[in-house]
Amino acid sequence: MTRTNHRGEPVTLLEGPAAANRGRARGRAHPRPPGPTRAALVTAAAGAGALGGYDDLAGRGDRRGFRGHLGALAQGEVTTGAVKIGGIGATGLASSALLGGGPLDMAVNAGLIAGGANLLNLFDLRPGRAIKVAALAGGLIAATGRPGGGPAPGATLAGIPLGAALALVTEDLGERAMLGDAGANALGAMLGAAAAASLPRSGRVAVLAGIVALTAASEKISFTKVIQRTPPLHWLDMLGRRPVAAPAGGAPAATPGPDRPGPDGTDPAGPGTATDHPVTPRTSASPP
């Protein structure tokens, strides 16, 4: 199980299943969250991780983004991305049902879980980027989650997937392994479940609105290009990564650019892309 990264080097995909399995095991074994909350975290990790793994193995990458997969479905073509859209949506609903609440709360929570799975995958385009985004998101959940009013503190719930991710960050930054869809989808779904279980309704609605806005923006713009053009984001993106190799002949080293064009000539780092690095034979993964 390997892909070719943005340097043209083979990288193992086994980090993704390892992250998903570690997150699921941590969620099941943690003593602090009540049973239904643990079950929601485990369901989110298992469902999103399995569907992401299916897309890692079976996806072709010739359709990208919600627009690409739903457009194909309208023409009678069922892509792996379309299967994942439906499957992660169902995973969100199942996890939300375990958390309980009224119809509005369940709808918002399902959106957080499914949307979180997709959004983290959209950032998984360079080594360590998705884990850094997950760490920032987890920090926000930890800071704003109810310390006593919810099923468990935000820091406890966010720490479950983050512990799984941070245990593998050295391999990811060193470009020896990558999350792929299996890892990014699982970690994003667990962070969504953590937000659903620890934030007040107003906070959950605000987070869901942010997820929807960023997901919609990904259909039009490249997150990689925005990061490269924004110095603080570019600095954070490069933090801990291997330096850019200088080209032969002594020319200045180029800033890492978008992933290499796909077989159809499109930019895999462009709108609608959701994978860590270009793939062989695929060049992008599929949301959510």
Q: Give mean pLDDT, residues 117-132.
A: 93
What is the SS3 string spanning 161-216?
A: HHHHHHCCHHHHHCCCECCHHHHHHHHHHHHHHHHHHHCCHHHHHHHHHHHHHHHH
pLDDT for res 1:
76
**Mean pLDDT along residues 20-32:** 86
Identity (one letter) of the amino acid at 8?
A: G
The pLDDT value recorded for residue 273 is 42
Q: Which residue has the tokens 């975290």?
A: 41
| pTM across the whole model | 0.80
d(CA 92, CA 90): 5
Neighbouring residues of 228: CB distance < 8 A, sequence distance ≥ 6: 234, 237, 255, 256, 257
pLDDT score recorded for residue 271: 52
Q: How many residues does the chain have?
A: 288
Query: Is the CB of residue 11 less than 8 Å from the CB of residue 127?
Result: no
State the Cα–Cα distance between residues 121 and 81, nearest whole angstrom: 12
> Which pLDDT score, from 0 to 100, does residue 56 have?
85
The share of the chain scoring above pLDDT 70, in percent, equals 76
pLDDT at 193 over 70: yes
pLDDT digits (tens, 9 = 90+) for 258-276: 333 333 333 444 454 444 3
Give the model's pLDDT for residue 7. 79
25-29, 201-205, 240-244, range with greatest mean pLDDT = 201-205
Higher pLDDT, 252 or 204: 204
Specify the higher pLDDT residue, 144 or 166: 166
CA 105 to chain centre: 23
Give ∠ CA 11-13-16 in degrees, rounded to 5: 135
pLDDT at residue 63 is higher than 90: no
Average pLDDT over residues 91-103: 94
Residue 55, pLDDT score: 85
Dist. CA 280–CA 282, nearest whole Å = 5
Cβ–Cβ < 8 Å for 51, 83: yes
The structural domains of the chain, with segments of one domain joined by +, span 10-238
Query: H or E element: which one contains 91?
Result: helix 80-99
pLDDT tens readout for residues 79-88: 777 788 889 9
CA-to-CA separations, 115 to 45, 79, 169, 249, 259, in angstroms, rounded: 13, 19, 23, 46, 24
Distance CA 126, CA 141 (A): 24
User: Residue 9 corresponds to which tokens in the numbers above?
Assistant: 């080097």
Phi, psi of 11 (to 5 degrees): -135, 135
